[in-house]
């Protein structure tokens, strides 16, 4: 067993770096993929952003100051890469990030890696109607199991505001969806 500081030391040492980075991928690849996928929606886009995220992580590790946990730091990079991707789409199409996100949602049904039924599509639509920050907070809290404190670090927003975003999202979803079991789970 090694602690995080020792693991980071391995990640930044020439001798152990490659092996430690492989371990880092085992630990975080899947979690970061789902985090990214919920922002950029389609699998192909998520795949691109995931690669960019780990490239940036690899390059930035020597400069990691350990002011936050490795976990939070990587989520922050993944989030920033996802937003950067959406902004590049925004520049290309001259539309707002929310509009880009909604447009992707529109194309979700054409994605071969989406096989949602009517209820799942309805939930996706409701989530897409949330303001961007509310949606991201809801995803990070409910699906990624991040703590409010960690979401606050990733988004650089006060913890109280994060809670307001989350409960605002839950309320909106509650008012607009009647999928059996979902409301009970998000309120749990």
Partner 1 sequence: MKQHIDDTNETTFRSTFDMNAEKRHQKDLGLKIPENYFSQSKAGILAMTTGQSQEVIPLYKRKITWISMAATVALLLTLAIYNPFTKNTVVEEDVLIASLFTEEESVDDFVDDFVNDELLTEEVFTE
Instruction: Provide the binding-site residues for partner 1, judged by CB under 8 A.
Output: 1-5, 7, 17-18, 21-23, 25-27, 29-31, 33-34, 37-38, 43, 47, 50-51, 54-55, 58, 69-71, 113-117, 120-121, 123-124, 143-147, 182
Of 22, 53, 23, give the one whose Cα is nearest residue 35.
53
Q: In this structure, are residues 142 and 123 in contact, taking their beta carbons and an 8 Å threshold? A: no
CB of 105 vs partner 1, minimal distance in Å:
11
Interhelix angle for 118-129 vs 159-176, to 10°? 140
Nearer to partner 1, 61 or 95 (CB): 61
CB of 160 vs partner 1, minimal distance in Å:
20
Distance CA 68, CA 24 (A): 16
Nearer to partner 1, 17 or 90 (CB): 17
Find tokens 């430690």 and name the residue. Answer: 20
CB of 7 vs partner 1, minimal distance in Å:
6
Nearer to partner 1, 95 or 103 (CB): 103
CB of 72 vs partner 1, minimal distance in Å:
8
66: left (phi over 0), alpha (psi -120 to 50) or beta: left
CB of 59 vs partner 1, minimal distance in Å:
8
Find tokens 């960019």 and name the residue. Answer: 52
Q: In this structure, are residues 121 and 181 in contact, taking their beta carbons and an 8 Å threshold? A: no
Nearer to partner 1, 94 or 145 (CB): 145
Nearer to partner 1, 4 or 87 (CB): 4
CB of 85 vs partner 1, minimal distance in Å:
16
- Centre a 10 Å sphere on the Cβ of residue 70 and count the other Cβ atoms it contains: 19
Of 93, 102, 94, 88, give the one whose Cα is nearest residue 39.
102
Nearer to partner 1, 24 or 95 (CB): 24
């Amino acid at each position: 067993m090694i602690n995080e500081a020792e693991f980071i030391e391995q990640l930044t040492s020439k001798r152990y770096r490659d092996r430690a980075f492989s371990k880092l991928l085992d630990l975080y690849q899947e979690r970061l993929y789902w985090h990214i996928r919920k922002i950029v929606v389609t699998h192909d886009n998520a795949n691109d952003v995931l690669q960019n995220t780990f490239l940036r992580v690899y390059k930035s590790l020597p400069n990691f100051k350990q002011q936050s946990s490795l976990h939070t730091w990587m989520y922050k990079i993944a989030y920033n890469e996802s937003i950067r991707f959406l902004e590049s789409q925004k520049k290309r199409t001259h539309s707002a990030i929310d509009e880009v996100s909604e447009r992707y949602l529109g194309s979700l049904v054409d994605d071969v890696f989406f096989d949602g039924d009517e209820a799942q599509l309805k939930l996706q639509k409701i989530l897409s109607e949330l303001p961007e920050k509310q949606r991201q907070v809801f995803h990070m809290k409910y699906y990624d199991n991040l703590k409010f404190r960690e979401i606050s670090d990733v988004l650089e927003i006060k913890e109280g505001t994060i809670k307001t975003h989350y409960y605002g999202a839950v309320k909106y979803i509650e008012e607009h969806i009647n999928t059996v079991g979902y409301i009970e789970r998000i309120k749990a």
